[in-house]
A and B are shown apart, each in its own frame.
Chain A
Amino acid sequence: MSLLELKNVYKIYGELHALDDVSLKVEKGEWVSIMGPSGSGKSTMMNIIGCMDKPTKGEVLLDGVDISKESSKNLTTIRRDKIGLIFQQFHLVNYLTAVENVMLAQYYHSIPDEKEALEALERVGLADRARHLPSQLSGGEQQRVCVARALINYPEIILADEPTGNLDEANEEIVVDLFHKLHDDGTTLIVVTHDPEVAEVAQRTLVLRSGKFSKEIVNENFTGKIRFGDNNPI
């Protein structure tokens, strides 16, 4: 059984088919990139997979459960237990410190544990920034806090919607490098991106166009240990 399976999924807004008969299978531990022009339905698909939205038609099976039929209360529980989210805007609670933002995910999931949260920040290279407020952190650092928050509860699947869209190249490399580590640890990754350099390091890339998959590129050279530069701080 695949970890995630979309079967003939539609999302229709009035006349507009934001998703138009989309089918997709993602296996456990896979790293998949989604590319496509703006407005092609990438975020719509991520929101449905991330249990924040429901399809108009079709089935979405996550770990064998059809999440398109669940109540929004159950969706909250599934999202909390199985999914880690990373967004383009580095959404952090602005009055909580980096470590508190990470602990927030623990708080809703189970039990906050500051030590563990600090370890997660250490993994993303922010041990010395743990007590800073988001406003005191650079964009790249904020996004790394988001990564730490996304991975803190060991989710089955991490969904990242344009995670490097607002980052400079150096920070982009750091974040992609973190994805490598997560992948090496066995986490399933679905990464939406505009950037071919970010997309092509995944095992395969799906191209979305007007709500339909138009192309699939498999990365023949994928090793699972690809690194961007050698001078990473991690």
Chain B
Amino acid sequence: MLLIYCPYCEIERAETEFHCGGEAHIARPSDPEKATDDDWVEFLYMRSNTKGIAAERWRHIHGCGRFFNAVRDTVSDKFLTFYKAGDPRPDLEALAREAGK
């Protein structure tokens, strides 16, 4: 069972308190009318499904209820960092190098 750090509660808790919300940093186009059909399909359905270092959304659903983001190695299941929703995406390659990947 994973251990997950909530950047709002500032505490590490077991996976059972959290809910994974899929790939992070997929922004809903702010003016949907201007989005092309391809843009919209990309937003709705296309996911990178990374084998390796990936940023994903988590929600502390049985805690503070907040959404936040985490960088996880999908091969080893190890988290590399956690950050609040709205914070910029970290440099995944640098994180991977730090983790020795």
Are the chains A and B members of one assembly?
no
Residues of chain A whose beta carbon lies under 8 Å from any beta carbon of chain B = none
Residues of chain B whose beta carbon lies under 8 Å from any beta carbon of chain A = none
